[in-house]
Structure 1
Amino acid sequence: MPTAPDNRSTRSASDAAGERRWDAIATAFAEFADTLVADFDVLDFLHQVTVRCSEVLGVSAAGVLLSDQRGNLRTAAASSERTHLLELLQLQTGEGPCPECFRTGEPVAVPNLKAPAATVRWPEFAQAASALGYGSVHALPMRLRGDVIGALNLFDTEYGPLPPATHRLGQALTDVATIGLLQARAVDDRVVLARQLRHALDSRVVIEQAKGVLAERTGLDMHECFELLRSAARNRNRRVADLARAIVDSTETR
């Protein structure tokens, strides 16, 4: 008499994978909401948002663009260096899903970057993203009610739309990150909010300069230099931007 297959090991592995995914989702929500701390660092927070979203949503990379006090988009964070370059390209050309998402306040989906719908709409961006190995990109608005402060870009090497459940989870994570960012920035005082966001975006310029200095000194690539900078700042209990400024000013060597 044939023996029935034992599916217990398969179920066990599936259950373990499911538990790890739910744990990652819970961790992401907890981190995005926990911004009312004395040493809150907005740039480190936004970088963590991009890293967590790419992990939890199963995409290749993520990036964040935020608006300054004049309503202009500026690059704020990216989970990888090549994603950062694409964020800069979107700002320089005005092309891409992130600027459109910010202007309309609605999600933008590009399931195939090589399709005419993308190449005609955003020729430079679509070509650059494809050249870097990405097949699809989606943008989710960072908004509180009617106030849109930026957008989250999700890049993937695979083609196709986000599954509906993944899209809903991505927007939920984006909404919580937006609320966490705003509550840490005195949401009731728009002047304070604008000033603090401007400081964070200006600090990004100094960080890019410090990455260049570290790259020249160490021979590491730009992504590795940023991770080195973040790690050194945490070990020394300093803000990333403060350490970056010290490296640019040559008062710190590493």
Structure 2
Amino acid sequence: MSTREELIADALLELSDALVEDFEVSNLLHRLVDHALELLDADAAGIMLADSSGTLQVVASNSHAVELLELYELQVGSGPCLDCFRTGQPVTPPDLATVRAWWPDFAPRVEAAGYASAQAVPMRLRDEVIGAFNIFRTREGALVDRDLRLARALADVATVALITDRTLTARQLVASQLQGALSSRVLLEQAKGMLAERAGISVDRAFTVMRDHARRHGRGLREVAGDVVSGRGLLPTSTHPSTHPGT
């Protein structure tokens, strides 16, 4: 079994590979979520990136429930990702009472989803904040210091991978990357729904099947989703459920 240090090294190496290779934005963002669930004391995670107007958009999450939470966060204009994006600093409430005090509109939805902690770290390069990385826990309290520092490191590496052209501003670069991520998200949502209906499985399970299939065959997640939507190939749904935390 790999040690924590080996898992961290593997995660950073995989994310940093995007610096020198062509990569699919959707894959990168979902791998960031996966690594967070594997390495941090976290039960769920999601990512928001800013568009060209500086408005946050939901681009990745580990479950449909988390995606709905993040969309509600944007709807009410209150929550850890928004505060993190505005300040450029980690937002780590120490207990559930603080979550309720800071975000009275958002907190009830967090609790209803089964979480007792909601926090975020910025996705930033120097002074330019391009988004935020949301982390949810079923237990109260903030991430311990080593996990918080690791969360920031993972987010930083992913951010640098997104910003590959130093001749443009970070926001201009991310705007183009974001458009691709949003298009992928729409396609993924459509594919998840179609596969779930065809196979009689949950939407979250459908996503896991597509993600695992893409990894086993070395294909992009968007490409696999396109196959499902077009009907070019029906994915096998009898694969063993992923044992990854949070799926």
- If the TM-score is normalised by the length of the shorter chain, which range does it land in? 0.7 to 0.9
Whole-angstrom distance in 1 between the partners of 2:219 and 2:9: 27
Q: Of residues 27, 45, 58 in structure 1, which corresponds to 2:10?
A: 27
Q: Which residue of 2 is the match for residue 180 of structure 1?
A: 161
Alpha-carbon shift at residue 169 of structure 1 (Å): 2.1
User: For residues 1-254 of structure 1, what are the structure 2 equivalents within 5 Å?
Assistant: 20-36=3-19, 38-113=21-96, 115=97, 117-183=98-164, 186-190=165-169, 191-235=172-216, 237-254=218-235
- TM-score using structure 2 length: 0.85
Whole-angstrom distance in 2 between the partners of 1:57 and 1:233: 24
Contact 1:111 1:137 (C-alpha < 8 Å) held by counterparts: no
Moved over 6 A (4+): none
Pairs aligned (count): 233
Change (3 A) 1:187 1:47: farther
CA RMSD of aligned residues (A): 2.2
Contact 1:212 1:222 (C-alpha < 8 Å) held by counterparts: yes
Q: Determine helix, strand or coil for the equivalent of 2:105.
A: helix
Contact 1:187 1:193 (C-alpha < 8 Å) held by counterparts: no
The structure that has the greater radius of gyration is 1
Alpha-carbon shift at residue 187 of structure 1 (Å): 4.1
Q: What amino acid does structure 1 have at the position aligned with 2:224?
A: L
Alpha-carbon shift at residue 35 of structure 1 (Å): 0.3
Change (3 A) 1:193 1:138: closer
User: Which structure carries more relative contact order (alpha carbon 8 Å, separation 6+)?
Assistant: 2
Whole-angstrom distance in 2 between the partners of 1:123 and 1:24: 37
Whole-angstrom distance in 1 between the partners of 2:89 and 2:27: 26
Alpha-carbon shift at residue 66 of structure 1 (Å): 0.8
Structure 2 residue runs without a partner (length 5+): 236-247
Change (3 A) 1:195 1:104: same
Q: What amino acid does structure 2 have at the position aligned with 1:55?
A: E
- TM-score using structure 1 length: 0.82
Whole-angstrom distance in 2 between the partners of 1:28 and 1:211: 26
Whole-angstrom distance in 2 between the partners of 1:205 and 1:110: 32
Whole-angstrom distance in 2 between the partners of 1:236 and 1:40: 15
Q: What amino acid does structure 1 have at the position aligned with 2:77?
A: G
Contact 1:111 1:135 (C-alpha < 8 Å) held by counterparts: no
Between 44-53 and 225-234, report the one with greater CA deviation.
Answer: 225-234
Whole-angstrom distance in 2 between the partners of 1:51 and 1:23: 16
The share of aligned pairs that are identical, in percent, is: 43
